[in-house]
């Protein structure tokens, strides 16, 4: 049995349609020729077991080959957000104690900014096709070296500073295997569209790594989702069967499809994750993209997929489906006791896909990882049939006049208004009620009378308990977002 990701890549069946890049399909043997070339150069530069190599590469053959080459040498990969800016990149580089950061050859301005801030900055330069024009690094004396670490992610930080989450080869493979068993639309002869950014666990595990491990599955590699018209064009050209995306991307695809009317008849599977999916978009997906959405749920700490609606026949609208094989779940109340099905509480998880710790954060690790269980921090409901509904994050919950209010419920009502494109709800401190509710609302562009905050409040009052009604409504053009499109409520 092969117990490492690069070994499983090498020994999976299927040769000809390994991955698509720049208009043509590449074979498995040509890919591993690229891996061997990268491995040789990394070894000459001094990369050794347990060392960590960062990547600012977008989705590309270079990124996939770098992962396999680093794993062959017993090392670990740290995908970084190319668009995060030099300050955030440098902080993550320093926290992860990297041997080197691989930078795409077209990113000279970003590299120069990093060098200005960091001085002697260990970096290497590669083309997206996978050729190193420069390979250099600096060995790190790691406090806790781990040879089974495959990848370290920095969370998107929607509630504050990003956390560093190390995942082992076993974590990632168990998640791939469980997803393959759970969702029948994956496997032999199918094609995955890889456009989600690889620095996010959803894109990395499901779009990048899964199709390289699953027998006879192809992968279409696209470095950037923007513009969405180009994404539609490649989807149509390659006749992809599976697309995983976040809700923001799906909304953009719907808009582009309404204009260009592509032929997406090959698409058999459209999965949404990374954030809540607005139910009103499902009908538009069926009409303009040819099929509805299967919504799922996951976290970086769970490698990442926890649950998903596995088929269109078994889909339960408004839920994130059933748990993948291997996960144990408990819904716990405020006192820590397990609640019976149908009750709202905090989701705790256990299983082979669950990480062990946060890197360099022992206090946070003790708080969230207890006796093999992980506290997701998400408020959920698990029904008798095993379908999971995510209500909100514990940290987002508001307390108004002694009542618990979850933003997602209020946002769902705001989004029912035909003029509303998207909304976000936060709590504002109040000396009398504890908190009051403030709503930020982005409208669809259209002509007509201006929508007022008073009208929005009246709309909510007809549909919500009085303590759940926003007292303030602010109209905005857009929201501060994470790299995958999540609204950053802590900035609001």
Domain CATH number, residue 160: 3.40.50.980
Q: Determine, yes or no, domain membership for 13.
A: yes
Q: Determine, yes or no, domain membership for 109.
A: yes
Longest CA span, the chain? 69
The count of other CB atoms within 10 Å of the CB of residue 490 is: 14
Q: Determine, yes or no, domain membership for 188.
A: no
**Using CA atoms, how far apart are residues 27 and 327, in angstroms rounded to an integer?**
34
Q: Determine, yes or no, domain membership for 276.
A: no
Q: Considering its fold, how many domains does the chain have in total?
A: 2
Query: Would you state the pLDDT for residue 156?
Result: 58
Instruction: Point out the domain boundary residue: 148, 168, 188.
Output: 168
The domain spanning residue 434 has which CATH number? 3.30.300.30
- The average pLDDT across 6-12 equals 92
Query: Would you state the pLDDT for residue 394?
Result: 62
Query: Would you state the pLDDT for residue 282?
Result: 93
Residue 18 is given by DSSP the state S
Instruction: Point out the domain boundary residue: 129, 153, 168.
Output: 168
Enclosing domain of residue 406:
397-475
Query: Would you state the pLDDT for residue 449?
Result: 80
Contact partners, residue 226, CB within 8 Å, separation at least 6: none
Contact partners, residue 24, CB within 8 Å, separation at least 6: none
Query: Would you state the pLDDT for residue 467?
Result: 82
pLDDT above 80 for 22: yes
Q: Determine, yes or no, domain membership for 410.
A: yes
- The average pLDDT across 67-94 equals 87
Q: Write down how long the chain is.
A: 492
Instruction: Point out the domain boundary residue: 121, 148, 168.
Output: 168
Query: Would you state the pLDDT for residue 158?
Result: 46
Q: What is the pLDDT of residues 350-368, one digit of tens each?
A: 999 999 999 989 999 999 9
pLDDT above 70 for 331: yes
The count of other CB atoms within 10 Å of the CB of residue 147 is: 12
Q: Determine, yes or no, domain membership for 117.
A: yes
Q: What is the pLDDT of residues 166-179, one digit of tens each?
A: 999 999 999 999 99
Q: What is the pLDDT of residues 104-136, one digit of tens each?
A: 998 877 777 777 766 677 889 999 999 998 888
**CA-CA distances (angstroms) from residue 368 to 19, 172, 178, 478?**
38, 20, 23, 33
Q: What is the mean pLDDT of the chain?
A: 90
Q: Determine, yes or no, domain membership for 213.
A: no
Q: What is the pLDDT of residues 170-227, one digit of tens each?
A: 999 999 999 999 999 887 889 999 999 999 999 999 999 999 999 889 999 999 999 9
- The average pLDDT across 358-387 equals 93
Q: Determine, yes or no, domain membership for 202.
A: no
Q: What is the pLDDT of residues 215-258, one digit of tens each?
A: 889 999 999 999 999 999 999 999 999 999 988 899 889 999 99
Contact partners, residue 176, CB within 8 Å, separation at least 6: 205, 209, 210, 213, 214
User: Using 50, 70 and 90 to split pLDDT, how confident is the model at 491?
Assistant: confident
List the one residue out of 224, 209, 215 whose CA is nearest residue 190.
Answer: 215
């Amino acid at each position: 049995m092969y117990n490492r990701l690069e070994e499983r890549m090498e020994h999976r069946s299927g040769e000809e349609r390994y991955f698509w890049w720049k208009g043509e399909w590449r074979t498995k043997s040509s890919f591993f020729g690229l891996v061997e070339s990268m491995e040789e150069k990394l070894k000459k530069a001094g990369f050794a077991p347990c060392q960590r190599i960062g990547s600012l590469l977008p989705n590309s053959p270079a990124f996939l080959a770098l992962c396999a080459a680093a794993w062959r040498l017993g090392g670990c990969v740290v995908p970084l957000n190319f668009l995060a800016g030099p300050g955030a990149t440098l902080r993550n580089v320093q926290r992860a104690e990297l041997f080197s950061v691989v930078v795409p050859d077209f990113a000279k301005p970003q590299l120069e900014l990093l060098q200005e801030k960091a001085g002697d900055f260990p970096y290497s330069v590669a083309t997206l096709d996978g050729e190193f024009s420069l390979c250099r690094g600096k060995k790190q004396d790691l406090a806790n070296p781990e040879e089974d670490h495959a990848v370290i992610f920095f969370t998107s930080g929607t509630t504050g500073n990003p956390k560093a989450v190390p995942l082992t080869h076993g974590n990632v493979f168990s998640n791939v295997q469980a997803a393959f068993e759970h969702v029948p639309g994956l496997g032999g002869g199918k094609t995955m569209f890889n456009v989600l950014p690889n620095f996010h666990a959803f894109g990395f595990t499901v779009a990048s790594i899964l199709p390289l491990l699953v027998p006879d599955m192809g992968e279409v590699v696209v470095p950037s989702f923007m513009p969405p018209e180009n994404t539609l064009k490649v989807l149509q050209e390659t006749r992809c069967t599976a697309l995983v995306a976040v809700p923001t991307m799906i909304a953009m695809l719907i808009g582009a499809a309404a204009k260009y009317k592509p032929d997406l008849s090959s698409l058999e599977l459209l999965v949404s994750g990374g954030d809540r999916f607005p139910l009103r978009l499902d009908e538009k997906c069926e009409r303009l993209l040819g099929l509805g959405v299967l919504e799922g749920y996951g976290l970086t700490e769970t490698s990442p997929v926890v649950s998903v609606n596995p088929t269109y026949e078994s889909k339960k609208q408004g839920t994130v489906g059933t748990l993948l094989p291997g996960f144990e779940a408990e819904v716990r109340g405020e006192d820590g006791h397990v609640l019976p099905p149908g009750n709202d509480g905090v989701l705790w998880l256990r299983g082979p896909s669950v990480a062990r710790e946060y890197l360099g954060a022992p206090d946070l690790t003790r708080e969230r990882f207890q006796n093999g269980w992980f506290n997701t921090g998400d408020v959920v409901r698990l029904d008798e049939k095993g379908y999971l509904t995510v209500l909100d994050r514990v940290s987002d919950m508001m307390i108004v006049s002694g009542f618990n209010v979850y933003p997602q419920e209020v946002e769902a009502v705001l989004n029912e208004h035909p003029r509303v494109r998207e909304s976000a709800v936060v709590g504002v401190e109040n000396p009398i009620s504890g908190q009051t509710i403030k709503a930020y609302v982005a409208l669809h562009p259209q002509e007509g009378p201006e929508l007022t905050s008073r009208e929005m409040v009246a709309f909510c009052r007809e549909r919500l308990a009085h303590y759940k009604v926003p007292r303030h409504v602010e109209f905005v053009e857009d929201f501060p977002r994470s790299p995958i499109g999540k609204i950053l409520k802590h900035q609001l």
